[in-house]
Amino acid sequence: MRAERKPLSTIMPEAHVEVREEAGGHALVRLRGQLNFQTTGACWRELESKLRGKSIRAVEVDAAEVELTGGIGAALLRYLSEGGMTPGARVEMHRLSPQAETVLNAFAAEDFRTYQPKRPAKLSMPAEIGKFVRHLWEDIGDQVRFLGSITRAMTIALLLPRRMRWHEVRAIMETAGANALPIVSMVSVLVGVVTVLEASHPLANFGAQIYLADMIGFSSLRETGPVVTAILLAGRSGAAFAAELGTMKVNEELDALTTMGLNPIQFLVVQRVMAAVLLTPLLTLYAMMMGILGGLIIMRSLGFPPLMIYHQIVSRVDLSDLTVGITKAALFGVILGGMACLRGLQTGEGPSAVGVSTTRSVIACILLIILVNTLYSAVQYLWA
């Protein structure tokens, strides 16, 4: 007959914690049972709740009846003995069995203190400002040096096209561009729809709703088309560039390329920047058409004939507006390609380094895109 399987809770021994507070800030902790992967967590939480925040100056731990199974129980004892739950208190551990003492000694107290996370020093306001300014100045220097390296590498690639790996450029353009058409289409159409909806009522008060066509034409070609496309690419493709290069940096693949005599900028960065410069204007043209289409849908629902809308746009919007939008798109392509790759190359060490670089890439790209767009519009307004 098949034996009945017992629940796991009846097979695994339990562990118990007793904490007794005495006069003079003294506490007695008694541990009993087997500390394993099932029981240690509950004991740890119970000790934290009973000891944390209390004014305790001395702790005695009676571990005579403790059995350690694996490292997790030893971690609890080491954390308790080093004052992790009672900061500043003197902790003494008594009657530890030879087997448990052998396991605990594998987790040396010196290693515990060495690898404890260091709390950052609290700086004054002037020191915080100075630290920020110093980091900003260093980052600007890195950007200038990186811009020089990119300019040199791009010049070599244009003068010697055979040295450019064009198949990788095409692959990047397909991944970052063709696959981004759905999101670019949806966002551009919705921006065009919102633009016409928000402006229709104010213009109706003056009987000038026909100028909605002018507005959607100018905004799509000069502003929303290039800006929306660049921001979408910064969040989608720029983040991918930073994550790819950051992962290579963490895995020491960039160091391996350098050891083999290959320049990472020439071998990896130039292709991504070239793809971004070629891709952004093409996607911007598509976003311009989708934005105008979204505005035309709303204007058609307001009763305007399609031919009237077409003639209004053609008579007001000329080639110079399209040139402005494409020029902005090319500048944005250089920004998002270069900044994303720079943040990827600046990736530090640790499990969160790639995520930090990706976040910095998106923030820097969007900030620079908005800044360059503002400066471009201001200079064009002053020179007009």
As for how many domains the chain has, the answer is: 2
Reported as type and span, the H/E element at residue 254 is helix 253-259
Are residues 161 and 282 located together in one domain of the fold?
Answer: yes
In the chain, the amino acid numbered 288 is M
Last residue of a domain, which of 70, 93, 114? Answer: 114
Would residue 314 count as lying in a domain? yes
Q: Enumerate long-range contacts of 109-117, CB under 8 Å, 24 or more apart.
A: 109/78, 109/81, 109/82, 112/78, 112/79, 112/82, 113/82
The answer to whether residues 227 and 331 touch, using CB atoms and an 8 Å cutoff, is no
Quickly list DSSP for 273-324.
HHHHHHHHHHHHHHHHHHHHHHHHHHHHHTT--HHHHHHHHHHH--HHHHHH
| pLDDT at residue 305 in the model | 86
Are residues 252 and 313 located together in one domain of the fold?
Answer: yes
| pLDDT at residue 103 in the model | 67
Q: Over the stretch 167-187, which tens digit does the pLDDT of each residue have? A: 888 888 888 877 888 899 999
Q: Over the stretch 206-249, which tens digit does the pLDDT of each residue have? A: 878 888 888 888 888 888 899 999 999 998 888 989 998 989 88
Are residues 171 and 282 located together in one domain of the fold?
Answer: yes
Place of tokens 């402006």: 199
CB within 8 Å of 18: residues ≥ 6 apart: 28, 29, 30, 31, 32
Would residue 215 count as lying in a domain? yes
| CA atoms of 76 and 45, how far apart (whole Å) | 10
Would residue 264 count as lying in a domain? yes
Last residue of a domain, which of 90, 114, 138? Answer: 114
- Of the chain, the end-to-end C-alpha distance in Å amounts to 96
Would residue 253 count as lying in a domain? yes
| pLDDT at residue 290 in the model | 92
| CA atoms of 272 and 317, how far apart (whole Å) | 33
- Mean of per-residue pLDDT scores for the chain: 81
pTM exceeds 0.85, yes or no:
no
Query: Can you give the residue range of the structural domain that contains 51?
Result: 10-114
Cβ burial, residue 112 (10 Å; 0-12/13-18/19+): middle
Q: Is the pLDDT of residue 3 over 60?
A: no
The answer to whether residues 105 and 68 touch, using CB atoms and an 8 Å cutoff, is no
Would residue 311 count as lying in a domain? yes
| pLDDT at residue 47 in the model | 76
**Residue 144 has which token pair?**
């200038």
The answer to whether residues 261 and 376 touch, using CB atoms and an 8 Å cutoff, is no
Are residues 155 and 97 located together in one domain of the fold?
Answer: no
Reported as type and span, the H/E element at residue 50 is helix 40-51
| pLDDT at residue 105 in the model | 67
| CA atoms of 278 and 312, how far apart (whole Å) | 31
Q: Which residue has the higher pLDDT, 109 or 280?
A: 280
Would residue 119 count as lying in a domain? no
Ranked by mean pLDDT, the top range of 54-68, 86-100, 170-184 is 170-184
Q: Residue 71 sits in a domain of what CATH number?
A: 3.30.750.24
Would residue 81 count as lying in a domain? yes
Are residues 110 and 151 located together in one domain of the fold?
Answer: no
| pLDDT at residue 226 in the model | 93
